Amino acid sequence: MSLLSPFLRRLVRRGELAVTNADGSVERFGIPEAGFPTVAIRFTDRSVTGAIARNPQLAAGEAFMDGRMVMEQGDILALLRVILHNAPWEGGGAVEVDIGNPLMRLVDRSRAALGRLNWERRSKQNVAHHYDLSDDLYALFLDADRQYSCAYFTDPGNSLEQAQADKKAHIAAKLNLQPGNRVLDIGCGWGGMALYLARAVEGVSVLGITLSEEQLKVARRRAEEQGLADRVRFELRDYRRVEEGFDRIVSVGMFEHVGPPNYLTFFRKCREILADDGAMLIHTIGRLGTPGQTDPWTRKYIFPGGYCPSLSEIVSASEKAHLIATDAENLRLHYAYTLQHWYDRATANRDAIVALYDERFFRMWQFYLAGSLVAFEAAEMCNYQIQYTRRRTALPITRDYMAQAEARLPR
C-alpha cells in the first residue's frame, strides 16, 4: 500500500482508478459507474507517491510533466475528473489536497501572498512568463480572433468561433456603446475585443493596453491590416499609468493578474478616468466561495502572480472606490465548455506543440488546460462579468437594452 492509498480510497468511490506502483503492485479504488471515467495510472519510481502525499498540489502536476506518472488508460483529463467529480464544490465535498507539513504549508502561503503583490515591474515579468510564449502556440488551440478568455455559449453545441463572437457581442451590449464613445481596453491581449468594438458601433475609438510585447506586435499588425489603426491604438502600458478620460472601460481576462493588494488601486484608477456618465465591464475568472489562494503548481509554471478572486473581494474593493455595481452575471459553465475546446485542440496538435517546445512542455500545457477545465466543472472556479458606473442614472433603468443591443450587434 502506497502513501496515497488512504487518500484515494476515501475519495474515489464513483468511477474506477487503478494504480500500478513502482514495485509492480496494483491497487484499485472506486467502482465503475456510468458518467464517471475508468482510469489507470502507473508510477515509474518509488519516490513519486511520497512527493505527492507531501505536496499534492505541486507534485502531481510535476510527476505528470516529468513522465513519472504515466497514463495507462484514459488521459490526464479523465484522471482529474474521476478525482474532482467525486467531490463537487457545491456538494460541500471540495477535495482537500493541501500540503501536509504545517511549516511547508505556512511557507507556501507566504510565497503566494508575496507573489500577489504585483507591483509594476513584477506585473510585466509575470505577464511575459505566460503571454510572450510563441505566437504559434496560441494559434494551435485558440479561435482565429485569439480570444484567450471565457467564451459565451448561447447553445452548448456551438463552435468555439461562434461562442467567442457571441462573447464579444455580449460584452459590447453591457457596455451600452454609443457612437463616438472613447473606450479603454485594459489587458487587450491580441486586440480582438478592441477591434470588434471599433467595428461594432460607428465612430467608437479604442485604446488597448497590454504588458505583453508579443501581444502588442500582433494587435498593432491586426489594426493596420483591418484598416482601423486610425481609431484603435495599442500601447505597452500599465493601467496605473493611464491618465486620459474614457466613456467606457472594458477589461477581459486581466483582473486575474491584478492581485488583491492592488484591487482598490485598480478601481480607483478606473473611477478616476471613467466619464461621469460612463460604464465599465470587468470579465474575470472568480471563485464561487470565500477568498482562497492559487495552487503552487499554477503559480510556478503557468501564472506567477495570478489570483482568481471571490465575488466578495471584487465588490468590497469597488465599493470603497465608490463605483456602483449595476449588473453582475456568473458564467457558471461557459468556461468549462471553452476549455474543452482548447483542450481538444491542444491535444490534437500535440506533435506541433512538441515541435515548438518539447514533450515536457506539452504535458505541462495539457495538465494546465485539463486542471482548469475540471476546476470549472466541479471545483470552485467560475467566471464573473460585473458592470459598473460612477452614477446611478448612467444606464437605462431595466436590463432590456442589453438584449436589444446584443441582438443587433454584428458577429
* Residue span of the structural domain in which 368 resides: 119-408
Q: End of a domain among 91, 106, 141?
A: 91
102 is a domain residue: no
Residue keyed to cell 475546446: 341
Number of domains in the chain: 2
Tens digit of pLDDT at every position of the chain (411 positions):
687 888 899 889 999 999 999 999 999 999 999 999 999 999 999 999 999 988 888 999 999 999 999 999 999 999 999 999 999 998 876 555 554 544 444 444 545 555 555 555 666 677 777 777 888 999 999 999 999 999 999 999 999 999 999 999 999 999 999 999 999 999 999 999 999 999 999 999 999 999 999 999 999 999 999 999 999 999 999 999 999 999 999 999 999 999 999 999 999 999 999 999 999 999 999 999 999 999 999 999 999 989 999 999 999 999 999 999 999 999 999 999 999 999 999 999 999 999 999 999 999 999 999 999 999 999 999 999 999 999 999 999 999 999 999 999 999
Same domain, 65 and 127: no
Q: H or E segment at 205?
A: strand 205-210
| Chosen domain end from 55, 76, 91 | 91
Q: Reduced to 3 states, what is the DSSP secondary structure of residue 190?
A: coil
328/393 same-domain check: yes
Burial 230-252 (b: 16+ CB within 10 A, else e): ebbbbeeebbeebeeebbbbbbb
Domain contains 241:
yes
Q: What is the DSSP letter of 286?
A: E
Residue 125 and residue 169 in one domain: yes
Domain check: are 330 and 389 in the same one? Answer: yes
Size of the chain in residues: 411
11 assigned to some structural domain: yes
10 assigned to some structural domain: yes
DSSP-assigned beta bridge partners for residue 28: 18
Q: How far apart are CA 102 and CA 167, in angstroms?
A: 43
Distance CA 314, CA 167 (A): 21
Residue 112 lies in a domain: no
69 falls within a domain: yes
pTM value is: 0.92
Do 74 and 124 belong to one domain? no
Residues 6 or more apart whose CB falls under 8 angstroms from that of 248 comprise 175, 176, 177, 181, 182, 183, 184, 278, 279, 280, 281
Sheet of 324-330: strand order equals 232-236, 205-210, 182-186, 246-252, 274-287, 381-389, 324-330
**Residues 378, 252 within the same domain:** yes
Question: Same domain, yes or no, for 322 and 363?
Answer: yes
- Longest CA–CA separation in the chain, Å: 70
CATH of the domain at 270: 3.40.50.150
Determine contact, residues 322/392, Cβ cutoff 8 Å. Answer: no
CB atoms within 10 A of CB 336: 22
Q: Specify if 340 maps to a domain.
A: yes
Domain boundary among 49, 72, 91: 91
Parallel, antiparallel, or unpaired: how do β-strands 69-73 and 38-43 relate? antiparallel
Residues 144 and 50 grouped into a single domain: no
Q: What is the pLDDT of residue 92?
A: 79
